[in-house]
């Protein structure tokens, strides 16, 4: 054993050893419980960032820990390799997205390997390979046959200068990011997945996922947004037909004073034909953003259409307005407006001087009549008033009565509405899975036959920002119609990359199967037992994956209702940013590695200076690591300087996995210092362990009365096993930061005991240290596998640490016949008393009341009440 810690050397050796012994290879084995541990696969953006390091370290800790517990573990890795950044890089550098992507994958794979993750690389996949996306295409066609995939028009951002569709991300303040041109909305035909058909199951099955965080389940439930209400039909006053609206507040129907439709609603289009001012307004509405956040925060604007509808129950004529706050994508694209009991309607009615009619009386007496300004109580359920025959009813009674009346007149009915919309998967972009459709002049849209799959994406295109380069590729476009054999043209739209990530976890079970999307091995490995990824995926990716699983199940491909049994959503990695304002008024950011922070003698910050010129910089606060703020820390330099174990240990120690993690150079130093101490301690005891048998790695024989005969041994073992007990509970509930501190406590304990025992250490004491160090190494192993591996074999413990079981707590080492109780007077801590473990309540009370400080604080008053919490505290109330 080397006397000092050389992480680069021991990590290289450990990794080479594990590669040679195929330590991470996962093989189906029915004799053991399986554990499928999956981290969200990375987008190959160029190099790893700290978020990746954190994500995959969490996954690796769980994978290694479960192996220690006897599970047959599979931890795979792959690449979410299609997507927009590759096209952006192509535009910037002229490199084809394929080459850029494959180069990035090669580099990032090396980085992942240098971190020592126990990944079964034989299962590696990349979504941009024809072997993978063939099955996107195949399933797309199966779902098209079943009617789950269908075609309709959808709205996209159109850049009129580049003549191209832009992603939301590429629209900045309503303008194209490259051209600066005002963006228009455009309606184009697209393929959709009928996820709404599964809305009820996706919602109900959330209850079958106790392993998911409550907040994610709540977010998904709200996203699906099932609401029960009434569809109301308002007949057109000036023509045939009805305006359909959906409402959850049918009890307020008699208070409706106008209706409002979205700018895209047919009624708006119709009215705009006769009114140029309205036409201009409708155009203006269509110009705005397609993003919900923008629509919800923009100023509410509207214009009357001049058209009217008839109130289905009162027969009153109500005006129809076009309003920019009505969404075409939700419900019917039209709403009935009840200004007295809906905040948005109230605001709108006040602005445009539309009538406000109160039809609900406050039940709590919070208000008498609805008057400006708006009060939250106006929207609460209450008793109906001013509603003719429907007056005097409670909420549910009113809804029932009004729904029945509407149904009788054939002008409405109760129904369920979802907020969830169908999933549009067409993208007018190059670097994605080609949609396997052929357009034929005589046969229309023809699916590509199975035996012609995959439709291969040419890999040498270089997008230039003006439309999809596939449209310029005759060798891709030109084909023959599979039905009639005449010349035809291929579809050039590609699929949303969420399609790729909706089923990759199934493919890891059988990545080598060229003849089927999934096979029986998926049945063995699935569901994923533990899924780990960013909270930012709480809705879209996870919901699409759940939907996809159910769709595949219904095609008979798998027997699986839910893909992910347990979910851990890890927090983001943050860092402080530093900047200066240049003379031109621009903000220039400096990387934190180039900043010197000065502090006073209390540790408070006094100055932040740029090292190169010694001049001050300002703090831009704490935020996610990003290119724009230049506050990223490169994992590569960290690994090279400190080693993988330090990087991993720092990540686990600094924050609990679900919380944000604040980067700290000093924290990294601390982690490194700890590992050096671990190594030094191992080396220090190396010689003395020679006489301890290898058999004793897991079973140690101590005399039953060791604590009495050798108190120092008893005390050491009590400490070690107390910490182990805590560490075991913590790793099980995934509190890795306290598992890391348990490791530190173990080392402190062993070191203190060693210092006390000195050179006179007895054989039992050496054995207790041997036991404690073996426990320490196994507690650390999931987090810092390399140093644990090297010490384990270096110190002569039996076998390899990859095969070692998680240590067991020796309850007999914890035994003690006295407990310390906290004594409180009136809830305030006043002292501690030592009582025999067997002491009953009366004895404890007596001991406490006789306590000197208690007497002082009770001032001789008799206790009014005494609360005793066994094993914890006693509270005397006077």
Partner RNA sequence: GCCGGGAUGGCGGAACUGGUAGACGCACGGGACUCAAAAUCCCGCGGCCGCAAGGUCGUGCGAGUUCGAUUCUCGCUCCCGGCACCA
Minimum distance between the CB of residue 68 and RNA, rounded to whole angstroms? 21
Applying CB under 7 A, among 385, 565, 729, 798 the residue interacting with RNA is 729
* Interface of this chain with RNA, residues 81 to 120, rule: CB under 7 A: 82-85
The interface with RNA within residues 769-828 (CB under 7 A) comprises: 820, 822, 824, 826-828
Closest approach of Cβ 315 to RNA, in Å?
33
Given the rule CB under 7 A, which of 408-416, 530-538, 581-589, 778-786 is the region that contacts RNA?
530-538
CA nearest neighbour of 762 among 702, 698, 804: 702
- Smallest separation (angstroms) from RNA to the CB of 864: 8
Q: In the set 401, 405, 479, 540, which binds RNA (CB under 7 A)?
A: 540
350 vs 861: CA distance, rounded Å: 66
Q: Using the rule CB under 7 A, is 285 a contact of RNA? A: no
8 Å CB contact between 751 and 735: no
What does the block give as tokens for 280? 């201009």
Taking contact as CB under 7 A, which single stretch among the options 26-34, 80-88, 782-790, 837-845 is the one that binds RNA?
80-88
- 552-581 binders of RNA (CB under 7 A): 572
CA distance 303 to 261: 10
Distance CA 685, CA 687 (A): 6
> Measured from the CB of residue 857, what is the shortest distance to RNA in angstroms?
7
Contact present, 605 and 597 (Cβ < 8 Å): yes
Query: Of 412 and 563, which has the nearer Cβ to RNA?
Result: 563
CB of 659 to RNA, least distance (A): 5
152/274 with CB nearer RNA: 152
Using an 8 Å Cβ cutoff, are 725 and 634 in contact? no
Contacts of 794 (CB under 8 A, 6+ apart): 1, 682, 686
Candidates 30, 293, 474, 842: give the one binding RNA (CB under 7 A).
293
The residue from 476, 674, 765, 792 that contacts RNA (CB under 7 A) is 674
Tokens of 339: 């200004």
Residue 370 DSSP label: -
Please, what sign has the CA dihedral across residues 781, 786, 787, 791?
positive
Residue holding tokens 């005097």? 392
Residue closer to RNA (CB basis): 537 or 550 = 537
According to DSSP, residue 458 is labeled P
State which residue, 471 or 691, has the beta carbon closest to RNA. Answer: 471
User: What phi and psi values does residue 412 have, to the nearest 5 degrees?
Assistant: 155, 170
- Of residues 95, 751, 833, 835, which one binds RNA by CB under 7 A? 751
Of 383-402, binders to RNA (CB under 7 A) are none
Under rule CB under 7 A, residue 202 binds RNA: no
Out of 19, 153, 314, 599, point to the residue binding RNA (CB under 7 A): 599
CA pair distance 73, 62, nearest whole angstrom: 10
Q: Which stretch, 256-264, 272-280, 291-299, 464-472, contacts RNA (CB under 7 A)?
A: 291-299
Nearer Cβ to RNA, position 35 or 681? 681
Of the candidates 566, 749, 783, the residue with the CA atom closest to the CA atom of residue 653: 783
**Shortest separation between residue 7's beta carbon and RNA, angstroms:** 14
Interface pick for RNA out of 656, 794, 796, 863 (rule CB under 7 A): 656
297 binds RNA (CB under 7 A): yes
List C-alpha distances in Å: 205 to 62, 533, 562.
Answer: 26, 21, 8
Please work out the total of residues on this chain that contact RNA, with binding judged by CB under 7 A.
103
- The reply on whether position 121 binds RNA by CB under 7 A is no
Interface residue with RNA among 48, 68, 143, 165 (CB under 7 A) is: 165
Contact between 863 and RNA per CB under 7 A:
no
Decide whether 670 or 796 has the Cβ nearer to RNA: 670
* 80 contacts RNA (rule: CB under 7 A): yes
In the complex with RNA, the residue whose CB is nearer, 168 or 816, is: 168
Q: Are 169 and 488 in contact (CB under 8 A)?
A: no
Q: DSSP secondary structure string, 100-132?
A: HHHHHHHHHHHHHHHTT----GGG-EETTSHHH
Strands 125-126, 78-79: pairing is: parallel
Taking CB under 7 A as the rule, does residue 718 contact RNA? no
Is residue 175 close enough to count as binding RNA by CB under 7 A? no
Closest CB to RNA among residues 454, 743: 743
402-461: contacts with RNA (CB under 7 A): 419-421, 423-424, 426-429
Where does this chain touch RNA (CB under 7 A) — which range of 239-247, 332-340, 611-619, 727-735? Answer: 727-735
Distance of CA 281 to the CA centre of its chain: 40
Question: Which residue's CB is nearer to RNA, number 357 or number 419?
Answer: 419
305 binds RNA (CB under 7 A): no
Is 166 an interacting residue with respect to RNA (CB under 7 A)?
A: yes
Site for RNA in 495-514 (CB under 7 A): 496-498, 501
Q: Are 236 and 243 in contact (CB under 8 A)?
A: yes
How far is it, in rounded angstroms, from Cα 533 to Cα 658? 10
Q: Which is nearer to RNA, 219 or 814 (CB)?
A: 219
Q: What's the first-to-final CA gap in the chain, in angstroms?
A: 64
CB of 722 to RNA, least distance (A): 11
In the list 6, 215, 611, 837, the residue contacting RNA (rule: CB under 7 A) is 215
CB of 165 vs RNA, minimal distance in Å: 5
Cα separation, 172 vs 151, in Å, equals 29
Please, which contacts does 236-241 make with residues 24 or more away whose CB atoms are closer than 8 Å? 236/307, 236/308, 236/309, 236/310, 237/307, 237/308, 237/309, 237/310, 237/317, 238/307, 238/308
Q: Give the position of tokens 């409670």.
A: 394
Cis peptide before 527 (omega within 30 of 0): yes
Q: By CB under 7 A, what part of segment 316-345 binds RNA?
A: 330
What are the counts of helices (DSSP H) followed by strands (DSSP E) for the chain? Answer: 28, 37
461-490: contacts with RNA (CB under 7 A) = none
Taking the complex as a whole, how short is the minimal distance between the CB of residue 238 and RNA, in angstroms?
33
Which of these segments, 210-218, 466-474, 549-557, 693-701, binds RNA (CB under 7 A)?
210-218
Of the candidates 238, 235, 199, which has an alpha carbon nearest to the alpha carbon of residue 220? 199
Contacting residue, 296, 587, 593, 709, with RNA by CB under 7 A: 296
Dihedral sign (CA 770, 772, 775, 776): negative
Binds RNA by CB under 7 A, chosen from 20, 408, 708, 865: 865
The yes or no reply on residue 738 touching RNA (CB under 7 A) is yes
Q: How far is CA 511 from CA 17, 98, 325, 354, in A?
A: 25, 20, 47, 63
Using alpha carbons only, give the angle 133, 151, 266 rounded to the nearest 5 degrees. 150
Candidates 50, 148, 156, 844; binder of RNA (CB under 7 A) is 156
129 binds RNA (CB under 7 A): no
Q: Which of 545, 654, 767, 784 binds RNA (CB under 7 A)?
A: 654
Q: Is 669 in the site for RNA (CB under 7 A)?
A: yes
Q: How far is the CB of 516 from RNA (least distance, A)?
A: 25
Among 55, 737, 767, 858, binds RNA (CB under 7 A): 737
The set of residues, in sequence order, having a beta carbon less than 8 Å from that of 233 and lying 6+ positions away, is 242, 243, 244, 312, 406, 411, 412
Among 16, 106, 270, 867, binds RNA (CB under 7 A): 867
Instruction: Find the shortest distance in angstroms from Cβ 423 to RNA.
Output: 7
List the interface residues with RNA, window 136-155 (CB under 7 A): 154
Q: What is residue 14's three-state secondary structure? A: helix
Q: Which of residues 22-61 bind RNA (CB under 7 A)?
A: 43
């Amino acid at each position: 054993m080397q006397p000092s810690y050389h992480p680069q050397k021991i990590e290289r050796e450990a990794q080479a050893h594990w590669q040679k012994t195929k330590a991470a290879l996962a093989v189906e084995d029915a004799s053991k419980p399986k554990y499928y541990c999956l981290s969200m696969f990375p987008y190959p953006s160029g190099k790893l960032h700290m978020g990746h390091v954190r994500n995959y370290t969490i996954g690796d800790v769980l994978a290694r820990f479960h192996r220690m517990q006897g599970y047959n573990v599979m931890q795979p890795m792959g690449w979410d390799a299609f997507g927009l950044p590759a096209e952006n890089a192509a535009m910037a550098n002229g490199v084809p997205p394929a080459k850029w992507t494959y180069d990035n994958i090669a580099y990032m794979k090396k980085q992942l390997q240098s971190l020592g993750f126990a990944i079964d690389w034989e299962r590696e996949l990349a979504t941009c390979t024809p072997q993978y996306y063939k099955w996107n295409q195949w399933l797309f066609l199966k779902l098209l046959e079943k009617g789950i995939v269908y075609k309709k028009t959808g709205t996209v951002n159109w850049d009129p200068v580049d003549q191209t569709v832009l992603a939301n991300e590429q629209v900045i303040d309503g303008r194209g990011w490259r051209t600066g041109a005002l963006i228009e909305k455009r309606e184009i035909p697209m393929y959709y997945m009928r996820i709404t058909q599964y809305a009820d199951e996706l919602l109900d099955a959330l209850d079958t996922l106790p392993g998911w965080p409550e907040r994610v389940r709540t977010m998904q439930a709200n996203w699906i947004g099932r609401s029960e209400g009434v569809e109301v039909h308002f007949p057109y006053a000036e023509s045939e037909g009805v305006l359909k609206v959906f409402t959850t507040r049918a009890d307020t129907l008699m208070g409706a004073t106008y209706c409002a439709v979205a700018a895209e609603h047919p009624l708006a289009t119709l009215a705009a034909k006769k009114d140029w001012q309205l036409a201009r307004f409708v155009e203006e509405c269509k110009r705005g953003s397609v993003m919900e956040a923008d629509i919800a925060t923009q100023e509410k604007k509207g214009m009357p259409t001049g058209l009217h509808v008839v109130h289905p129950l009162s027969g009153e004529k109500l005006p129809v307005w076009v309003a920019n706050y009505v969404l075409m994508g939700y419900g019917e694209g039209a709403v009935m407006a009840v200004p007295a009991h809906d905040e948005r309607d109230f605001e709108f009615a006040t602005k445009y001087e539309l009538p406000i009619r109160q039809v609900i009386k406050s039940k709590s007496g919070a208000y008498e009549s609805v008057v400006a300004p708006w009060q939250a109580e106006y929207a609460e359920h209450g008793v109906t008033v001013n509603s003719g025959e429907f007056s005097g009813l409670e909420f549910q009674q009113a809804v029932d009565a009004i729904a029945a009346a509407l149904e009788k007149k054939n002008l409405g009915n109760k129904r369920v509405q979802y907020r969830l919309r169908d999933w549009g998967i067409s993208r007018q972009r190059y670097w994605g899975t080609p949609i396997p459709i052929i357009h034929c002049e005589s046969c229309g849209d023809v699916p590509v036959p199975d035996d012609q799959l995959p439709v291969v994406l040419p890999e040498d295109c270089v997008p230039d920002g003006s439309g999809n380069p596939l449209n310029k590729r005759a060798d891709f476009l030109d084909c023959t119609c599979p039905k009639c054999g005449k010349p035809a043209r291929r579809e050039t739209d590609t699929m949303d990359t969420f399609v790729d990530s909706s089923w990759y976890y199934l493919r890891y079970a059988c990545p080598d199967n060229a003849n089927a999307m999934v096979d029986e091995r998926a049945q063995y490995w699935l569901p994923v037992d533990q899924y780990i990824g960013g909270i930012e995926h709480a809705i879209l990716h996870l919901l699409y994956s759940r939907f996809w699983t159910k769709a595949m199940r219904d095609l008979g491909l798998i027997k699986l209702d839910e893909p992910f049994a347990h979910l851990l959503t890890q927090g983001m990695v943050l860092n402080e940013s530093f900047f200066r304002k240049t003379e031109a008024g621009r903000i220039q950011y400096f990387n934190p590695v180039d900043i010197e922070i000065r502090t006073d003698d209390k540790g408070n910050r006094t100055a932040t200076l740029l090292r190169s010129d010694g001049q001050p910089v300002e703090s831009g606060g704490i935020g996610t690591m990003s290119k724009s703020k230049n506050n990223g820390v490169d994992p590569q330099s960290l690994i090279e300087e400190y080693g993988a174990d330090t990087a991993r240990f720092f990540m686990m120690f600094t924050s609990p996995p679900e919380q944000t993690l604040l980067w700290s150079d000093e924290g990294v130093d601390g982690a490194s210092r700890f590992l050096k101490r671990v190594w030094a301690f191992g080396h220090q005891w190396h010689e003395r362990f020679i006489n301890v048998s290898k058999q004793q790695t897991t079973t140690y024989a101590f005399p039953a009365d060791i604590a009495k005969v050798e108190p120092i041994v008893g005390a050491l073992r009590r400490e070690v096993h107390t910490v182990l007990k805590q560490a075991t509970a913590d790793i099980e509930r995934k509190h890795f930061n306290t598992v890391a501190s348990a490791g530190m406590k173990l080392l402190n304990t062993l070191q203190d005991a060693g210092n006390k025992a000195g050179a006179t250490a007895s054989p039992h004491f050496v054995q207790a240290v041997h036991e404690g160090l073996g426990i320490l190494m196994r507690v650390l192993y999931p987090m810092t596998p390399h140093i644990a591996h090297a010490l384990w074999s270096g110190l002569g413990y039996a076998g390899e640490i990859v095969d070692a079981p998680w240590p067991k707590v020796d309850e007999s080492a914890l035994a003690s016949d006295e407990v310390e109780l906290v004594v409180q007077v009136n809830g305030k801590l006043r002292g501690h008393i030592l009582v025999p473990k067997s002491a009953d309540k009366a004895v404890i009370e007596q001991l406490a009341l006789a306590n000197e400080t208690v007497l002082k604080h009770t001032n001789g008053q008799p206790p009014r009440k005494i609360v005793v919490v066994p094993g914890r505290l006693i509270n005397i109330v006077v």
